[in-house]
Structure 1
């Protein structure tokens, strides 16, 4: 094995270890919040942040009316309809690109993240905030935030897996940055609109991001086994493209 091959393997292993560490860190934060939530009491920072987004006299959201409209629109990016359309759009792109294995992984990741969120909501059964008025209607329980968790699980999974099929670093960075930005805005909108405690959103981000990272690591594993196509190659099978610096394909043995 040449020196360049050794460096490629080392970078790949560092990425995998870093991904596992991030997923573990997110799960630890989620577990810590869940432990507090089991007491069915809002955390101190929940009250502070929620009230900080309200005016002192009439409990309206801070900012001019257009800000409220903006966050109402942004929160729709975490709705089931929008997430389903985004997922189907990406799956369609992957099928056209002859990446059926990656498309199936995307579908499983999004559906699995949604089912996990529903199970967590049923288990914790936390009431919605009653400290401020709700700007939009809600039907489910509060912890973890479904919009925050499922948008993280969906957009981050889509971003990370789409980045896996890109050969240029600037495209990968852009895709992942957009996914993170949308996920962040959706979560903030839920607190601004008064329908979630900040801890709900933080827990949703942590659980959803951890799920997305685990799906990304699964994609790396499957690419090494040549069960889905590596970056720069259409269809499944042995890699023939040049190794990528940040997400190198496994050398053929």
Structure 2
């Protein structure tokens, strides 16, 4: 009985905490966007880019390893992972959560594209990059969408575990994946550091927003 009451209190408080996190994360994104727009990030953006170039020059394996890890945040890989995650959630009787993951990824990708177009920031000079890519830079799509996917799925899976250490491990793993993928984008020289920080902020906020929506759907329709 006590465990059930504790679980109910935790379930009731989680959406409120998630909503507070949404406001915090998206507020952080807005602050970074303002700083970037006024070139306040230029100094440390350039310093991070030069440091990454030096690190690749002195550690030849870094380039190869970063390329492999970066692929975990690519559109084809995240699309595949999204389909698998949604399929799994449907199989275990959680269609509302499967829909939340799918729609979070689709709307997140559209939002990132719109933000890139709105800010119109160019990528770093190709001479500093180990991997030359086309397109705009702010926010980082890899950092944004990996945060949306891994944090959304990590949170939904963690909810199915009662023990704190299990939930903590799952959330730590989700955060680690998002951070790792974002770091690779700076290390490869395809994004400024502020692009990645903004991507993390946006992606974390978007994931928390869809956690709130999934919680509302669950409350409205019952378990699912």
Give the TM-score taking structure 1 as reference length: 0.80
Match of 1:250 in 2: none
Match of 2:98 in 1: 103
Unpaired runs of at least 5, structure 1: 230-235, 237-253
Cα deviation for residue 42 of structure 1 reads 4.8
* Distance in 1 separating the partners of 2:3 and 2:129: 57
1:118 correspondence with 2:120: no
Q: CA separation of 1:18/1:169 partners in 2, compared to 1, >3 Å: closer, same or farther?
A: same
Which gives a bigger RCO, structure 1 or 2 (Cα 8 Å, sep 6+)? 2
CA RMSD of aligned residues (A): 2.4
Cα deviation for residue 43 of structure 1 reads 2.4
Q: CA separation of 1:157/1:144 partners in 2, compared to 1, >3 Å: closer, same or farther?
A: same
* Distance in 1 separating the partners of 2:73 and 2:7: 37
* Distance in 1 separating the partners of 2:78 and 2:15: 27
Match of 1:211 in 2: 206
Q: CA separation of 1:137/1:131 partners in 2, compared to 1, >3 Å: closer, same or farther?
A: closer
Unpaired runs of at least 5, structure 2: none
Cα deviation digits, residues 17-70 of structure 1 (max 9, x gap): 332222212111111111122246752221222222232xxxx72542112111
The 10-residue stretch of structure 1 (197-206 or 46-55) with the greater mean CA deviation from structure 2: 46-55
Cα deviation for residue 86 of structure 1 reads 0.7
Cα deviation for residue 122 of structure 1 reads 0.8
Match of 2:197 in 1: 202
Cα deviation digits, residues 194-227 of structure 1 (max 9, x gap): 11110000000000000001111222222222x2
| Structure 1 residues 67-216: aligned runs within 5 Å | 67-130=62-125, 132-216=127-211
Task: Give yes or no for contact 1:23–1:209 (8 Å, CA) kept in 2.
Answer: yes
The 10-residue stretch of structure 1 (3-12 or 198-207) with the greater mean CA deviation from structure 2: 3-12
Cα deviation for residue 188 of structure 1 reads 0.3
Give the TM-score taking structure 2 as reference length: 0.89
The 10-residue stretch of structure 1 (126-135 or 116-125) with the greater mean CA deviation from structure 2: 126-135
Cα deviation for residue 149 of structure 1 reads 0.3
Bigger radius of gyration among the two:
1
Q: CA separation of 1:4/1:78 partners in 2, compared to 1, >3 Å: closer, same or farther?
A: closer
* Distance in 2 separating the partners of 1:167 and 1:88: 26
1:20 correspondence with 2:19: yes
Q: Which has the higher helix share?
A: 2
Task: Give yes or no for contact 1:125–1:141 (8 Å, CA) kept in 2.
Answer: yes
Q: CA separation of 1:173/1:36 partners in 2, compared to 1, >3 Å: closer, same or farther?
A: same
